[in-house]
Amino acid sequence: MKKILSTLSFALLALINYATVHTVSNNPNSPGEYNNLQTAIDAATNGDTLYVHGSPTSYGNIYLNRNLTLIGTGYNPQKDNPLVSSIATLYLDSVPGIKGCSNSRIIGFNITSQLLNGPSGYAFNNITVAMNKIAQLQLQPTSANNIVLKQNIINYVYIIANCNNLILRNNMIYYTASYFQNCNSVLISNNLFFYQNVSTATTIMDYSTVTNNIFLNVHPNSNFATYNNNLIFNSGSDLLPYGNNTGTGNINGSAPIFVNVPDLIGVNFSYNYRLAANSPGHNAGTDGTDIGPFGGVDPLPNLYGTPPVPQIKIFNITNSVVTPDTPLEIYVKAKKQ
């Protein structure tokens, strides 16, 4: 039954994509075209899509050295068989003139160790990282352009360097000791930066545009940045803008008031981080939507990480014992995302 479910699920997903689609599963109970993700990447052609099945076993350390779209199950899938597509460390790898990860998309994974640039440090461009759970983010290529990080849950941003036209949008970022170095045209919008107590800080790139974010127990440090319509609370210095920074519409020293967040010890999937109706940040963004990750142009839809593709949620055989020439009765429930 699981094999039938896997086949039907991936067949449904393949219908919506015009590139060549490959399936990957290291779960022997639900096999795919490949059982090793790195092997699938190395065999793929630029522009291909890889659907990576959820599994009890991690796919290990992966080097993304092609222009590919990688789609996992989401980091907290809500379905009958909620297995997760997990990668230990994902390297964005490029070798000039030979192969590279430029123009790739990474969607719906649990990256349990790090998201890094490859050991070569070569340049790459046009990367989208969306709807993932990432333990640590560290990008230091020689140069990178047009990088979009959105709708992710990130435990720790260590450093982002040499990245131009960078968008950090609608993420939940915990333990934020973030350093943006040698970056130009940086937009930091509708994120939740938070920690369990006032003991760390976010260092925002100088000259960046910082709008509609929540800073909770975290203080941004920067020069010549523009701060508009951010909410800051319990940061040690609840004042935006300050120094040589500029901006308007910031909410200083007011608690965000979530719907249901009893504590700030990491990201808890059972909590509701949306702003309550009586929150000072409710509908207070520059665009009239909520400040924080559930407002703006790319609102975080939920804490599931489910990629925006159709998926089968329930698959049951209702008459598992049949006689010859008796129809097999199957109940299938699917959902478009």
Instruction: Give 252-302 pLDDT, tens digit per residue.
Output: 999 999 999 999 999 999 999 999 999 999 999 999 999 999 999 999 999
Q: Is residue 329 part of a domain?
A: no
Q: Is residue 91 part of a domain?
A: yes
Which distant-in-sequence residues (6+ apart) come within 8 Å of 255 by Cβ? Answer: 233, 234, 280
pTM, two decimal places: 0.87
Residue 14 host element (H or E): helix 2-14
CA distance 312 to 276: 32
- Structural domain containing residue 205: 12-309
| CA–centroid distance for 12 within its chain | 23
Q: Is residue 333 part of a domain?
A: no
Taking residues 145-173, report their average pLDDT: 95
Q: 175-198 burial, b if ≥16 CB within 10 A, otherwise e? A: bbebbbeebeebebbbbbbbbeee
Q: Is residue 286 part of a domain?
A: yes
Q: Of all residues in the chain, what percent carry a pLDDT higher than 70?
A: 84
Q: List, in sequence order, every beta strand (DSSP E) within 246-329.
A: 251-252, 258-260, 272-275, 311-317
List pLDDT tens digits, range 103-145. 999 999 999 999 999 887 788 999 999 999 999 999 999 999 9
Residue 6 has pLDDT above 60, yes or no: no
The answer to whether the Cα torsion of 202, 183, 285, 239 is positive or negative is positive
CA distance 274 to 291: 10
Tokens 């990008």 belong to 139
Which two tokens mark 316? 């049951």
Which distant-in-sequence residues (6+ apart) come within 8 Å of 268 by Cβ? Answer: 261
What is the tally of structural domains in the chain? 1
Which distant-in-sequence residues (6+ apart) come within 8 Å of 124 by Cβ? Answer: 92, 94, 100, 101, 102, 117, 141, 144
| DSSP-based three-state secondary structure for 217 | coil
Largest CA distance in the chain: 80
CA distance 120 to 56: 31
What are the residues facing 315 on neighbouring strands?
Answer: 332
Residue 18 has pLDDT above 60, yes or no: no
Residue 3 has pLDDT above 60, yes or no: no
List pLDDT tens digits, range 47-82. 999 999 999 999 999 999 999 999 999 999 998 789
Which two tokens mark 107? 């969607």
Tokens 């960078």 belong to 166
8 against 139, higher pLDDT: 139
CA distance 130 to 150: 5
Q: Is residue 332 part of a domain?
A: no
User: What does the angle CA 110 – CA 3 – CA 36 come to, to the nearest 5 degrees?
Assistant: 45
Q: Is residue 5 part of a domain?
A: no
